[in-house]
Structure formats: structure tokens, C-alpha cells
Amino acid sequence: MFRSELAQQLRVDSVRASTAAGSGHPTSSMSAADLMAVLLDGHLRLDFSRPDHPANDHLIFSKGHASPLQYAAFKAVGAVEDDELLTFRAFGSRLEGHPTPVLPWVDVATGSLGQGLPVGVGLALAGKRLDRLPYRVWVLCGDSEMAEGSVWEALEHAGHEQLDNLIALVDVNRLGQTGPTMHGWDLSSYAARAQAAGWRTLEIDGHDLDEIESALAEAERGDGRPVMILAATQKGKGVAEVADKPGFHGKPLAHAEEAIAELGGLRDLRVKPVAPEDAAPHAFDTGNTGLPAYEEGTELATRKAYGQALAALGDRRGDVVAMDGEVSNSTFAELFRDAHPDRYFEMYIAEQQLIAAAVGMQVRGWCAFASTFAAFLSRAYDFVRMAAISRADLRLMGSHAGVAIGEDGPSQMALEDLAAFRAVHGSTVLYPCDANQTAHLVAAMADQPGISYLRTSRGAMPVIYPPDEEFPIGGAKVVRDGADVTLVGAGVTLHEALKAADLLAHEGIGARVIDLYSVKPVDTATLRQAAKETAGLVTAEDHWPEGGLGEAVLSALAEDPVPVRRLAVHEMPGSGKPAELLGQARIDATAIAEKARELVP
């Protein structure tokens, strides 16, 4: 009887919150109320008074639009008061339209569908292999989002890793935003997909409290497989005007008072989830390995320096973990794998799951580095965007960037990555030109809040900095002084700029060369000083002209009346030797010197 009344309270409060806001998704909340009532009353082990308790279960609302239900549940456990519940969606309220970690009991932002289950995989991996604690990860999914490819990536990976601490509650209410879902109430169609990926499935009536109880209890008896509970439900359950009817998605109920009465009226029930026993997460042993040091004049690819630096960092810090999208012999994440196999995760060709796993692990305080080819990170861009909304701390490395990769051709050439990552809220974008710089920036990323991105190059490049040089985030380096013109590059084009400066020196032109290794935040002071002291700036980047290094320089100099000439990749490249492609794109030393001559009086 208590659970039935609690479920009705969750429905009523979902209706009340949405009515107060004048918007929201009450019907999507009402369908899952019975699932949530049983979960709260006896199965969820979460101490709401200690949201950072390491042994807490984790509850992710992948169907984030059902936030009224989540907030109603927070009220039922005493985490929020009724007055705050009715601030749903109001300016300044913690109860945003879709949940975010502004609330301490929300691990990650959701609302972009298909993300909660992949993030849950990351959390479950952390529980099994890193924290080594018995917490469970419960993910409430909607049936519409099961069409997302990211869900398949999560199903595959969870089954492969035998994550029996991961339980997906799928609210199969049959109706999406505009009409019926592909599979309706055909629970077996969802079950077949999950079973093929190695999941155990349970099919139930999502409004039968006894069936829900039996399913949750069975799910808790782990057998080495993740569990998917497929619950047939009615959208808008309990209110005849909207129950199982299309056209009511994302709308407050038109007759809220009547609906509340039909649901049995207001209640003020409280439920206290079981608190987990105190336990400490596992701690990995550490050593005293210093960062790798490289002799000036030697040559090494920055992607290899990344792997070497990450392996060394993993020895110094037991909280560092790494994962890769099945290209670790190209990104050199394999060096971390070989040094620290217990903290390395192979994510295969599933870039969305790659980023989601890193997001899940950082929820538990692990310092996660994720790597793949820079071009393939674009497949996971929405996960990066949502990670920023989650206030997540992520360290991403993209290798094989730009036309300088050579023969592989344009499908492998990231030419938009700097723009994409510069656009992420609060992001840091770094582009090293040599091995010592790479090592220092990898170490800096470990302590950098927010989303940080390191762009590395395929080919070997000369080491131009001593091992003890410092590279603060937000800085730049004047690697050659000159009073006539300024050349600005990063990564591959920094070396081309140095060659161009040599060409110009033979003509009596003094070129200042700036290494803009921190593309965001950018070193405005160094750029403005160059603008003041030389005739103008030439920027060169192995990237499309939109949104990259050149536009970062222009934004820094927006208030300075100084000529800036930008060189970037304009035409679709093909295959060829790196030098041929740099020349074709007119971002090589010859093109840089030619453009610089235009600025010198």
C-alpha cells in the first residue's frame, strides 16, 4: 500500500511541478513512477545526506526530460522541500528543465537522449575495476532513446565487460514525442538486442508493484551479466485524459487540479533509501617517475610523447586512468596500457562510449584521459558538449590532425577539431609542437578543470625546447625575436614558421615567431605586444580557416588596428606526402614567407 501511495505522490508532484512551470514532461514522468517508487523503497542504496559517499549507488535519468519525476523523488527522500519543487524551470532554480549536477545527487547532465546508459557503463567500470566497491548503477531509460546508436555501443561494452553492477530500467511507454515508437510494447524486440550483447533481460508490467519488486530483487542477484528490466507502461498513467494518448508530450496537463484529484490528491509521504555501509575506494600504488625529457635537436612525434608522458604520469598519480578507441598503437596510449594495465580501458571503435566512459569515471574522481584520431572525436561531439554541461573534467587527445598526416587522405584529417573544441564551454585547447612541450602539457591537463583537448601530430618533429621549459596554460612562446613582422603558428606550422623566418632573414627581414601552443585560452598580451611592435601578423594553421588558430588570434586582437594575414587549408585535400600537402594548402614555409613580405613596408 505504501509503495502504491508513493507512486501516486510521485505522479501528483510531477504534475504540480510542471503546472507551476507552465512547461515540462509530466506524462513521461508518470509512466515511470511505479518503477521509481519500488526502487526508492528498498533497493536504492544512497545516502542523500552524504552525496559524496564512495559506496553510494548511482541513479541516472537517461530520459532526462522526466526530470519532474526525478525532482519528485528527491522531495520524497527529503532532499528538496515542496517549495523548491514548485520552482521547477524557474530562473535561478536548481531544478532545471533537464537535470544537471547543480544538484549534488545528479551525477551528470542528461536530456540529450542515448547518453545516460553509456555514462552508466563508465560508472559501472569504475565500480568494478577502479573503486572496487559494491555500488550499483541504475539507469532509467526511455524506449524512444533505445534507437540511438550510442545505446548499442553501451549494450555491447557492458556485456563484454560483464558489468552485473549495471541495471537499466527501460520505461517502455510506447509513445515518443510525435507518435508511437518503432517497437511499441514489443518488449521481446528490445530484449533480443540486449541478449545478443550479453545482457540478462526481465520483461514486466511496469505498473505491477509485485512484478517490479521481483525484477529488482532478481537484478540484484548478479550473475556476471548486466541486467535490463523492460517495463511495459502507459504514458500519463493514472489520468484518463492523457493516459496512452499521443499529443501530450512535453506539455503540462490542461486540467491539473482534476488530474490531481483523479490521482487521489496531495500526499506528503517520505521514504528513506537504505544507506550503504562505509567503505573506501581502492587506491593504486604510485612511484616517483619524472616526466620524460628529450634532447633538443632530436625528433619525435608529439603523439608518441603523449603516450610516454601519460605512462609516466600514471606512475606518479594513482588516480590517472586512460582509455582509447582501438587505435592505441597510433596514439601511443598503449604505453600507458602496458605500464598500468589495471587502469587502462579498451573502448574499441565506439567513440561515443569512449567519451561517456571517461565522463562516468570522472564522476567518481578518477582523472580520465581518452584518446583516438582527432577526426573521429567528431562522432562523439555531443557527448563532449553534454560533458561540459555536466561540469565534467575530461582530458582528450586527438592525433593525426591536419593535412600533415599525408597519404591517408581527408577522411582521416581532422581539419575542424580546433574550432569544435574552442566552442565548448570552459574548454582548454592545446597544440604542442615538440615532445618536451607535449609532456608538460599532458601533466598540466591532469589538474585542469573542464574539458581539455590536446591536438597531436602524426609525423616526427624536432625538439626545440629544453626539458625544463615551462608551458603554462594560456601562454605562448616567442621562439624567435624580430621587429619587422610576426609569424604565428602551432604544432606543425610552428616549424614551418621557423623555416619561413630563416628565409626572410636572408632578405634582411626580422620575423618574430610565436608558438601559440595554447589556442584557448589564448595569450592576448603576447599577441598584442607583437601587434604593437611589428608591422603585422601572419597566422598559419593546418586546419580549415573557420574557428581555428587564426580566428583565435583575431579575437585576441579585436581592439587592435593591426593587419593580420591568415593562412589555412581552403581546398579539399587528397593524398600525398606531408610536404606536398602543406605546400598545396599554402601553409608551408614558402607561403608563410610570401605572405609576410606583403606586410613589410
- With contact defined as beta carbons under 8 Å apart, do 12 and 266 qualify? yes
Other C-beta atoms lying within 10 Å of the C-beta of residue 76: 24
Axis-axis angle for helices 116-125, 149-161 (nearest 10): 20
Q: What is the dihedral of CA 174, 177, 183, 184, to 10 degrees?
A: 20
Distance CA 493, CA 567 (A): 10
Out of 96, 153, 351, 496, which one is annotated catalytic? 351
Query: Cell digits for 465?
Result: 625546447
Distance CA 192, CA 189 (A): 5
- With contact defined as beta carbons under 8 Å apart, do 244 and 250 qualify? no
DSSP state of 405: G
Distance CA 9, CA 15 (A): 10
Q: Any catalytic annotation for residue 351? A: yes
What would the DSSP string read from start to end of 27-57? HHHHTTHHHHHHHHTTT-B--TT-TT-TT--
What's the Cα-to-Cα distance from 238 to each of 69, 311, 361, rounded to whole Å? 14, 56, 38
Q: What is the dihedral of CA 191, 144, 160, 120, to 10 degrees?
A: -130
- With contact defined as beta carbons under 8 Å apart, do 461 and 433 qualify? yes
Q: Which residues contact 359 (CB under 8 A, 6 or more apart)?
A: 108, 119, 122, 368, 383, 386, 387, 390, 392, 394
- With contact defined as beta carbons under 8 Å apart, do 159 and 225 qualify? yes
* H or E segment and range at residue 498: helix 492-505
What would the DSSP string read from start to end of 109-166? ---STT-HHHHHHHHHHIIIIII-----EEEEEESGGGGSHHHHHHHHHHHHHT-TTE
Backbone angles phi, psi at 202, to 5 degrees: -130, 125
Closest CA to 540 of 522, 572, 565, 523: 565
What percent of the chain is helix, strand and coil (3-state, nearest 5)?
40, 15, 45
Other C-beta atoms lying within 10 Å of the C-beta of residue 466: 11
Backbone angles phi, psi at 550, to 5 degrees: -60, -45
Beta bridge partners of 401: 414
Strands, E, within 316-459: which ranges? 320-324, 344-346, 367-373, 394-399, 428-430, 451-455
HSE-CB for 538 with a 13 A CA cutoff:
31
Q: Residue 40 burial (CB < 10 Å; 0-12/13-18/19+)?
A: buried
CA angle 197, 203, 204 (to 5 degrees): 155
What's the Cα-to-Cα distance from 547 to each of 89, 355, 387, 423, 520, rounded to whole Å? 33, 23, 21, 8, 11
Annotated active-site positions, please?
351
